[in-house]
């Protein structure tokens, strides 16, 4: 079980490290509402994928006539099926995605922006045009070139978006950890299925570690583009 947990977190960590920049590239030059829509659909797709795989495994185990070995086979074939669909869709629609080349190390950029914001409490050479703005700039905004900082507006906004996504990714799973065991155990309708559930949980864990990223990518990107046109 520890190995499965490590596999899930590693898989999702690598996926999110690639999916978040790719999603932000799709709304380059967009408003805060577009970025917020992407973050919302990203989290919604994550938990939808988790719920679908958990419910499907529990329903097949408890409410169907399939044997445990057959349920294990179905749960093993599901990631292969979704991964195949994902690769086919990516092959046909990859030309519609905006892929900007990475010219700056994102980790180094975050560190430099935070370091500059910690050292400068006030703008160094503030442009006269910034006095017409209604909103008061934050410490991170002082790193923008219009406030005398060494970074572009896009770079600072990328760092701010990173913190928004990080807060959502960290807070929501922590709040829902206590609800997962109750939600999964509620599908057990007979005591004779208890050992079968523990036996199949390993297969469900491996299936979820593959199906959730595949489902998340295409669901979140599709719904994000829909929300961006209706905001």
pLDDT at position 140, please? 83
pLDDT at position 148, please? 78
Kindly report the CA angle at 195 between 190 and 198, in degrees rounded to 5? 115
Alpha carbon distance 215, 137 (integer Å)? 38
pLDDT at position 6, please? 67
Q: What is the separation of C-alpha 136 from the centre of its chain, rounded to a whole number of angstroms?
A: 30
Q: What is the DSSP string of 143-182?
A: GBGGGT-SB-HHHHHHHHHHHHHHHHHHHHHHHHGGGHHH
pLDDT at position 59, please? 81
pLDDT at position 109, please? 85
Q: Which residues pair with 144 in a beta bridge?
A: 151
Kindly report the CA angle at 13 between 205 and 93, in degrees rounded to 5? 95
Q: Per-domain residue ranges for the chain?
A: 2-230
Alpha carbon distance 56, 58 (integer Å)? 6
Alpha carbon distance 117, 152 (integer Å)? 14
Summarised one tens digit per residue, pLDDT across range 173-202 is 666 554 444 444 444 444 444 444 444 455
Long-range Cβ contacts of 76-81 (<8 Å, 24+ apart): 76/203, 76/206, 76/207, 78/53, 78/207, 78/211, 79/206, 79/207, 79/210, 79/211, 79/214
pLDDT at position 101, please? 62
- Length of the chain equals 231
pLDDT at position 18, please? 72
pLDDT at position 197, please? 45
Provide the sign of the torsion angle of the four alpha carbons 150, 152, 155, 159, taken in this order: positive
* Tens of each residue's pLDDT in the chain, 231 residues: 566 666 666 667 667 777 777 777 777 776 777 777 777 777 777 777 777 777 777 787 777 777 777 777 777 777 778 778 878 887 887 777 766 666 677 778 888 888 888 888 877 777 666 666 667 778 888 888 788 788 888 888 888 888 887 777 677 666 655 444 444 444 444 444 444 444 445 555 555 555 555 555 555 555 445 444 444
pLDDT at position 192, please? 44
Q: Are 126 and 103 in contact (CB under 8 A)?
A: no
The pTM of the whole model exceeds 0.85:
no
Residues in contact with 189: Cβ distance below 8 Å, sequence separation at least 6, in sequence order: 62, 63
């Amino acid at each position: 079980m520890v190995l499965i947990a490590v596999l899930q977190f590693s898989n999702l960590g690598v996926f999110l490290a690639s999916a978040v920049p790719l999603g932000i590239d799709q709304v380059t030059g967009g408003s805060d509402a577009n970025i917020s829509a992407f973050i919302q659909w990203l989290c919604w797709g994550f938990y939808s994928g988790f719920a679908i795989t958990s419910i499907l495994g529990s329903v097949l185990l408890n409410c169907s006539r399939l044997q445990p070995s057959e349920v294990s086979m179905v749960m093993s074939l599901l990631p292969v099926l979704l991964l195949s669909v994902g690769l086919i869709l990516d092959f046909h629609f990859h030309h519609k995605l905006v892929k900007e080349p990475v010219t700056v190390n994102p980790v180094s950029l975050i560190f430099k922006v935070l370091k500059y914001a910690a050292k400068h409490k006030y703008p160094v050479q503030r442009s006269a045009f910034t006095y017409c703005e209604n909103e008061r700039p934050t410490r991170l905004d002082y790193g923008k070139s219009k406030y005398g900082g060494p970074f572009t507006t896009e770079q600072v906004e990328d760092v701010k978006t990173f913190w928004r996504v990080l807060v959502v990714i960290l807070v929501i799973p922590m709040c829902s950890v206590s609800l997962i065991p109750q939600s999964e155990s509620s599908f057990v309708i007979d005591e004779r299925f208890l050992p079968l559930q523990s036996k199949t949980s390993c297969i469900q864990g491996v299936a979820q570690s593959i199906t959730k990223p595949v489902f998340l990518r295409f669901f979140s990107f599709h719904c994000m583009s829909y929300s961006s046109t209706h905001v």
